[in-house]
Structure 1
Amino acid sequence: MTRFNQMIKQWKYFVFVTGVFSIQGSSENLEENLALKGTAVQSSTFYTSGATKAIDGIRYSPSGTPHPDETHTYCSITSNQLNPWWRLDLLDYYYIYKVTITNRGDCCLDQTTGVEIRIGNSLENNGNNNPRCAVTSLVPARSTVSFYCGGMEGRYVNMYIPNIQAHLTLCEVEVYGTAVNRKKVFLRMKLTSSVDTAAVNKTFLNQLQSSLGLSDVKLSWTRLPYRDVTHEEKKNNKDSC
């Protein structure tokens, strides 16, 4: 048997494959208020009630007195305008399961009524075109209401009142979810020729879950594995001609 034939026989059992795959997973921590790590902006500002007042970690004023001046101190309020909005940038990508809104305690319940909660990764129309999680109904004064979003993925959380002129008031916005971890890895492996892509995926998913502590891991090839011919193999092919 020639060396070339021996090499052919070896190829039957071993091949080199090269591919690119992406890893997506989530780390579980549903008790952390993600909003506290983000930044906030809004369409306009009424008096001194800036956007960050809604993510300062204070649901109600410390004194408990529902005085208008304290609403200005502890709540975000836009000017009376058409289509007011407020946007939270989480600074990373998350699966969002719950958004909690706290209303002011003194008056003006309509300022937190009919608010669309939108979640996504786009800044088109200031983020107000992202998918909708829920729409608030009348939120009682000095109350906290939660809305469940089923793990919608997004970096931005918007509060949006469309098609009317109004103030938008938010005394506190809380967001709970899990981080989305994405990585792209270039991989070179030596595998038996009988091992298919599904078996490769299963092997690596098991290793990733055990070593990185990720859950809900997904692996997808952006370029399917292909056989890489070595310099020695090319030389033998040429000699056999």
Structure 2
Amino acid sequence: VEILCIFLFLLCLGANIALGGKVSQSSQYGGAGPQKAVDGNRANNWRDKSCAHTRKNRDPWWRLDLEQAYSISTVTITNRRDCCPERLNGLNITTVGGTESLAHKWGPLPCMCHGGPIFQMTTPLLNQVATSTWVIPGRAEYLTLCEVEVFGTLADQDDDDEVKCEGM
């Protein structure tokens, strides 16, 4: 029974659909392009060369385009640990559905004064998310994301599955 419950939980969680996804950002600092945040590596030290990093811009942003509608079960952001984790203070996360209508917005997020996982969304977003944008509005700042993980399933698959994941 325990193994079945774990299997059903993982089935509802889905795969990390951000992994290797189509990403962009407002600018690039050094070799820290937007794809570094979806490389599957949670290393959160700058020297590990696994963090996406913008230059110091006003309203810096990072975007993930899933290119299809998904039902999202969990989103986790890993912040930089070796320095400057407070740079993500005030981060807003906006998700947009396939019809370009606002699906959901989180933020501004409170003090991000530590490294490691800093945000975890666990309230499911069903049949809507195609694009997510992370932005620090209203000030000039660097935006550093060491890993962004988005777990979910294709939206049209939810209707066909025998296992319903709503409410997880």
| TM-score, length-scaled by structure 1 | 0.55
The RMSD of aligned alpha carbons is 2.6
Q: Partner of 1:191 in structure 2?
A: none
CA–CA separation in structure 1 for the residues paired with 2:96 and 2:42: 25
Is the 8 Å Cα contact of residues 99 and 149 (structure 1) preserved in structure 2? no
CA–CA separation in structure 2 for the residues paired with 1:170 and 1:96: 19
Q: Partner of 2:8 in structure 1?
A: none
Alignment match of 2:47 (pick from 69, 80, 88) = 69
Closer, same or farther in 2 for the Cα pair 1:157/1:57, shift >3 Å? same
Q: Partner of 2:124 in structure 1?
A: 150
Q: Partner of 2:28 in structure 1?
A: 45
Closer, same or farther in 2 for the Cα pair 1:109/1:123, shift >3 Å? farther
Structure 2: give runs of 5+ residues left out of the alignment. 1-10
Is the 8 Å Cα contact of residues 25 and 63 (structure 2) preserved in structure 1? yes
Look up the equivalent residue of 2:116 and give its one-letter code: S
Q: Is 48-57 or 173-182 further displaced after alignment?
A: 173-182
Match of 2:106, SS state, is: strand
Instruction: Tell whether 2:112 aligns with 1:139.
Output: yes
Match of 1:58, SS state, is: coil
CA–CA separation in structure 1 for the residues paired with 2:98 and 2:139: 23
1:43-98 deviation digits (Å, cap 9, x = unpaired): 1111111000000000016xxxx4x433xx11001110011110011122112232
Alignment match of 2:89 (pick from 107, 113, 123) = 113
Match of 2:125, SS state, is: strand
Percent identical pairs in the alignment equals 32
Look up the equivalent residue of 1:158 and give its one-letter code: T
Q: Partner of 1:32 in structure 2?
A: 15
CA–CA separation in structure 2 for the residues paired with 1:31 and 1:139: 27
Q: How many residues get paired?
A: 151
Structure 1: give runs of 5+ residues left out of the alignment. 1-27, 183-208, 217-241
How many Å apart are 1:130 and its aligned residue? 5.9
How many Å apart are 1:107 and its aligned residue? 0.8
Match of 1:36, SS state, is: coil
CA–CA separation in structure 2 for the residues paired with 1:94 and 1:122: 9
How many Å apart are 1:34 and its aligned residue? 1.2
* 1:202-241 paired onto structure 2 within 5 Å: 212-213=160-161
* 1:145-184 paired onto structure 2 within 5 Å: 145=118, 146-151=120-125, 153-181=128-156
CA–CA separation in structure 1 for the residues paired with 2:115 and 2:86: 13
1:145-204 deviation digits (Å, cap 9, x = unpaired): 31234315211111111111111110000012232118xxxxxxxxxxxxxxxxxxxxxx
Q: Partner of 1:22 in structure 2?
A: none
CA–CA separation in structure 1 for the residues paired with 2:107 and 2:122: 8
User: Rg larger in 1 or in 2?
Assistant: 1
Closer, same or farther in 2 for the Cα pair 1:123/1:93, shift >3 Å? closer
How many Å apart are 1:138 and its aligned residue? 2.3
Closer, same or farther in 2 for the Cα pair 1:57/1:29, shift >3 Å? same
Closer, same or farther in 2 for the Cα pair 1:51/1:147, shift >3 Å? same
